[in-house]
Amino acid sequence: MILTVTLNPSLDSIYFTETFVLGEMNRCGNPVKAVGGKGINAGRTAAILGAKVTAIGVLAGINGDFIRSALNKEPFFATHFLSISGESRNAVTVMDQEKNQTEIVELGPEITADTAEKVLNLVIDLSKKQKKEPILALCGSANTENDHLYQHYLEQLGGISKVLTDISGKQLKNILNSPVKPYFIKPNIHEFAELLHTTIKNKNDVIAHLTQPLIKDIPFVLVSCGSEGAIAKYKDRIFDVSIPAIDAINPTGSGDATVGGIAFALDQGFSIEETLRYGMACGMSNALEQAVGFVSTDNVEQLKKRIILRDVRI
Ligand code: ATP
């Protein structure tokens, strides 16, 4: 069983434009409208691959109603979303023909202490009902003044689930400094640089920073590098993961799909090599779709065969 938590779901609009010029009228054809949020996208990906998934989170206002009814129509996974006050956010992406991606993302409704505890209790209840330790993916931002919210979740949930996180900024730093460690983290290369307050330009720079004390005790670290693939640390091994060039259509949500693929493979008990192949293939498969947080099982199976793992010695 895989549980995902999304404290800031979004109503995503993706506009494909020929050009995008600041200060001018930019026209677009049919936009893609999708229901998103990192945990929802990761959960959908894992569910498409065949995992049993429950997506948990909060929804607010008219956008929240729309997201709820869209999720109810999805055949892939079960959902438990609490209604809170405010308005679930809009996230707008503009993609021009040069594949430049511009995003405008609203803050989203406030997660009060009361809401945070209600969601936590829901996750605890669902986790305890499982016969086998569930995989729990804590994903995405939360509009909260409490920079230790995810650390609190980790401390409460780490003993009853295998915790994967796809978060950034202060929340990520705080969980890494927590006495209870997450099993897996997935910063992208920019988030990794931000986390370590350093400049990271390429995969070699990532490798050089993988021994930093802040991440030393995290069993599985995946630093995703977009079309370059990823660098992974698993226990005492480091992998340079190379992916083939593809004609990407919309890479938005590829990181979420990667987390979904990793969660699926961990839930199945696959080897680290197979787990990394699933993660990368899902990120790529998502990039081949216009939709966000969506993969094709055929593409995942084909792409998996083209991923090259190289053991790195440091
Ligand atoms: P997002 O925030 O949009 O979900 P991210 O920044 O967290 O993404 P990325 O590093 O961009 O994550 O992508 C995750 C994985 O998806 C990559 O490691 C790679 O496997 C795949 N991927 C992403 N972009 C591309 C691309 N343009 N071409 C091929 N594969 C891609």
Please work out whether the CB of residue 254 comes within 6 Å of at least one atom of ligand 1. yes
**Given this model, what pLDDT does residue 170 score?**
96
- ipTM, 2 dp: 0.98
Residues 140-152 have pLDDT tens digits of 999 999 999 999 9
Distance between CA atoms of residues 164 and 158, nearest Å: 10
Domain that residue 14 falls in: 2-22+29-312
Q: Which residues contact 122 (CB under 8 A, 6 or more apart)?
A: 56, 80, 82
Minimum mean pLDDT range among 30-34, 67-71, 296-300? 30-34
CA–CA–CA angle 238, 241, 242 (5° rounding): 150
Among the atoms of ligand 1, which is closest to the Cα of residue 252?
3
Residues 248-305 have pLDDT tens digits of 998 989 999 999 999 999 999 999 999 999 999 999 999 999 888 999 999 999 999 9
Q: Which of 242, 254, 306 to mutate to test the pocket of ligand 1 (most atoms within 8 A of CB)?
A: 254
Spatial strand order in the sheet of 10-16 = 32-36, 10-16, 89-95, 101-105
Please work out whether the CB of residue 185 comes within 6 Å of at least one atom of ligand 1. no
The CA-atom distances, in angstroms, between 261 and each of 34, 66, 267 are 20, 27, 10
**Given this model, what pLDDT does residue 99 score?**
80
* pLDDT > 80? residue 314: no
Q: Which residues contact 96 (CB under 8 A, 6 or more apart)?
A: 16, 17, 18, 19, 20
**Given this model, what pLDDT does residue 20 score?**
92
Please work out whether the CB of residue 242 comes within 6 Å of at least one atom of ligand 1. no
Nearest CA to ligand 1 atom 9: 226
Q: How far is the CA of 286 from the centre of ligand 1 (A)?
A: 9
Please work out whether the CB of residue 39 comes within 6 Å of at least one atom of ligand 1. no
**Given this model, what pLDDT does residue 228 score?**
98
Paired residues of 162 in beta bridges: 135
DSSP state letters, 178-242: SSSPPSEE--BHHHHHHHTTS---SHHHHHHTTT-HHHHT-SEEEEE-GGG-EEEEETTEEEEEE
CATH at 236: 3.40.1190.20
Torsion sign (Cα): 199, 293, 6, 156: negative
Q: How far is the CA of 72 from the centre of ligand 1 (A)?
A: 27
Q: How many domains does the chain have?
A: 1
**Given this model, what pLDDT does residue 98 score?**
87
Please work out whether the CB of residue 256 comes within 6 Å of at least one atom of ligand 1. yes
Neighbours of 121 (CB within 10 A): 11
This prediction has a pTM of: 0.95
Residues 146-177 have pLDDT tens digits of 999 999 999 999 999 999 999 999 999 999 99
pLDDT more than 90, % of the chain: 90
**Given this model, what pLDDT does residue 242 score?**
98
Residues 82-138 have pLDDT tens digits of 999 999 999 998 988 888 889 999 999 999 999 999 999 999 999 999 999 999 999
Backbone angles phi, psi at 205, to 5 degrees: -65, -40
Q: How far is the CA of 260 from the centre of ligand 1 (A)?
A: 13
Residues 231-245 have pLDDT tens digits of 999 999 999 999 999
- Enter the DSSP assignment of 308: E
Closest CA to 206 of 233, 183, 242: 233
Please work out whether the CB of residue 252 comes within 6 Å of at least one atom of ligand 1. yes
